[in-house]
Amino acid sequence: MQTEIYAEVDAYLEQNLLKPDPVLEKIARDSAAAGLVPHAVTALQAQFLALLIQMNRVESVLEIGCLGGYSAVAMARALPEHGRLITTEIDTRTAEIAQKNIDESGFGSRIGLRVGPAMTVLDQAIAEGQIFDFIFIDADKVNHKNYLERALDLSRPGTVIVADNIVRGGAVIDAESLENSVRGVRDMFAYAQSLKQVEMTALQTVGEKGYDGMAIFRMTGNA
Ligand code: DHB
Ligand code: MG
């Protein structure tokens, strides 16, 4: 795998396409310094999510899997002033780091961080009848299918759902894989294909974080 050239091209694209971003750069720095795993989306991917949000005039976002708050802030920043983003984090210490990053970003008033297992948070949101314009699934991949299922219950026709990490270095095509995360992704796709009310595609991605991909779903009807 030509991972070096992927990272070099990512650096080139970042330098030539993105503006200096002290807010997200600080979150990346502080998250690394706090010892969080380097699993946040890249700067270019964060901008991709922000553009999707703006192109769809999104006002409410649900993020499943917060980590250090990098993507949460990138997405919240793309919302209109009155926009709101809910994000979930299972790990208490990670959530403390994320909340600090969010508070220091200047976009904290738009972001609600819910600490606990994502399934619990999602079931609560469903019970409350919450509906979102945009949903980003980026927590443990084992539950990808379960998160997509819940996401549909939190959607309206037109809601866009993006699921991260659906290629896993190519491992996704291994039907015999014993890796739980691969099985989670494959379960998600098997489930998604059974749905009448979604249109979807996927993009393979390469870059500074290796070889992976994102799936994009659009709700066409009620779930
Ligand atoms: C992993 C998780 C992520 O969300 C990601 O973007 C990359 C890797 C992981 O758990 O390995
Ligand atoms: Mg991810």
Q: Would you state the pLDDT for residue 3?
A: 83
Sheet holding 198-207, edge to edge: 111-115, 84-89, 60-64, 132-137, 155-164, 210-219, 198-207
Quote the domain boundaries for residue 8.
2-219
**Could you tell me the CATH number of the domain that includes residue 98?**
3.40.50.150
Structural domain total, the chain = 1
Confidence of residue 1 (pLDDT cuts 50, 70, 90): low
Q: Can you read off the two tokens belonging to residue 58?
A: 């999104």
Q: Which residues in 29-57 are b (16+ Cβ under 10 Å) and which e? A: ebbeeeebeeebbbbbbbbbbbebbeeee
Q: Residues 97-124: what's their mean pLDDT?
A: 98
Within 10 angstroms of residue 21's Cβ, the number of other Cβ atoms is: 16
Q: How confident is the model at residue 2 (pLDDT cuts 50, 70, 90)?
A: confident
Residue nearest to atom 1 of ligand 1 (CA): 39
- Is the minimum distance from the CB of 39 to ligand 1 under 6 angstroms? yes
- Establish whether residue 165 lines the binding site of ligand 1, counting it when its CB lies within 6 angstroms of any ligand atom: yes
CA–CA gap between residue 20 and residue 104 (Å, rounded): 17
Which of 64, 19, 73 has the alpha carbon at shortest distance from 164?
64
53 vs 112: CA distance, rounded Å: 17
As a whole number, the mean pLDDT across the chain is 97
- 89 CB near ligand 1 (under 6 Å): no
Is any ligand 1 atom within 6 A of the Cβ of residue 164? Answer: yes
